[in-house]
Amino acid sequence: MPLSREDWHQRFLIQAQWTEALRLYFYDLIKKDNLLSVLDVGCGTGALLPEMDALSPAQIFGLDIDLDHLRMAQQVFPECSLIGSDVHYLPFKTSSFDLVTCHYFLMWVGNPEHALSELHRITKPGGSVVAFAEPDYGGRIDYPPEFIRIRDYQISSLLNAGADPRLGRKLKSLFTAGGFSDLEYGVYQGSWQGDISTQEFESEWKILSDDLAGILNKSELQALKKHDLGTRKQGSRVVYVPTFYAWGKVEK
């Protein structure tokens, strides 16, 4: 069964929890109180929009190509100006925003080089563009060994969906080639604990089941999920997906 927008919203909220510390650090770093206009590209159901509004006096905009997700975002944050558009053809004048952000986004755009050139174009001189999170499933680590196949299945599924499952490792190169200055980049410190909440576990498996639906049948998925839960309860389960970030300025 395809994921509902409520399922996606829950997933986006969980992802937002993972990167909260980095976002708060970044907002302080760029003197958020001086911002006038902020655009969240690929805003989805609006998981990050209320936070941006609370932290800054700027006018907040959200953009996504998925109109159903935008309808949810309108409920989440009615005060936000929301735009339905493709990132490759942004409907904004050059130098429109002080800050442009994205979150688990560039891996999905098909042509991240062109997408970043558009983000660069619409950012004011002296402003910043930030990719808060881009995973690299090619570097995914699973333990016990029988779970390694999840990585391979997920990579195949993402490729079939038009995504780049190894975008994370390319992020520095993309920002460098995009002409950004004062570049800062890195990978999140991994958390090796197997303990996650029931809500996060179920959300993870909704995504995995959707990704692997064309590869494994329902009974195979249920068996793998049950085994995953069992190894987590035993304390032996490890899942690590290296997730990269990068930001840079548009030169004055």
Domain that holds residue 21: 5-249
Q: How far is CA 95 from its chain centroid?
A: 24
Q: Please tell me the predicted confidence (pLDDT) of residue 155.
A: 92
The number of distinct structural domains making up the chain is: 1
CATH number at residue 16: 3.40.50.150
State yes or no: pLDDT of 49 exceeds 70. yes
pLDDT tier at 192, thresholds 50, 70, 90: low
**pTM as predicted:** 0.91
pLDDT digits (tens, 9 = 90+) for 227-243: 999 999 898 998 899 99
Q: What is the mean pLDDT of the chain?
A: 92
Indicate the SS3 state at residue 81.
Answer: strand
Q: DSSP string of 94-143?
A: TT-EEEEEESS-GGGSS-HHHHHHHHHHHEEEEEEEEEEEEE-GGG-EEE
Q: Please tell me the predicted confidence (pLDDT) of residue 216.
A: 87
